Amino acid sequence: GQNIDQPTEMTATEGAIVQINCTYQTSGFNGLFWYQQHAGEAPTFLSYNVLDGLEEKGRFSSFLSRSKGYSYLLLKELQMKDSASYLCAVYKAAGNKLTFGGGTRVLVKP
């Protein structure tokens, strides 16, 4: 089976930095996705990490350590519109599917 853990909620101030951690234990692993989901909307793709290391895309960066079963999403220069749920998802090619963590609700305060 697969076990994917991320914090339930985080609160941060506008302009600050927030790091959302995701740990996973899976029987197979091909990559890790991060999605953003605003309430009542579908998830939108943020990043995909296959190899160890940090990938930066503007204000958002994602890190992966395959040996530790660990990833994080870093949100910099937080804006009010960043208030959303952030979902990490493990991709397993065998079985061809994504398994999602429970999601982390981030609340950005002025």
Q: Does 61 bind other proteins (CB under 8 A)?
A: no
**Region near other proteins per CB under 8 A, out of 15-23, 26-34, 55-63, 66-74:** 26-34
Q: Does 33 bind other proteins (CB under 8 A)?
A: yes
Q: Does 44 bind other proteins (CB under 8 A)?
A: yes
End-to-end, the C-alpha distance of the chain in Å comes to 41
Q: CA of 1: how far to CAs of 25, 26, 90, in Å?
A: 8, 6, 12
Distance, CA of 110 to CA of 87 (rounded, Å): 23
What residues make contact with other proteins under the rule CB under 8 A? 30-31, 33, 35, 40-45, 48, 87, 91, 93, 96-103
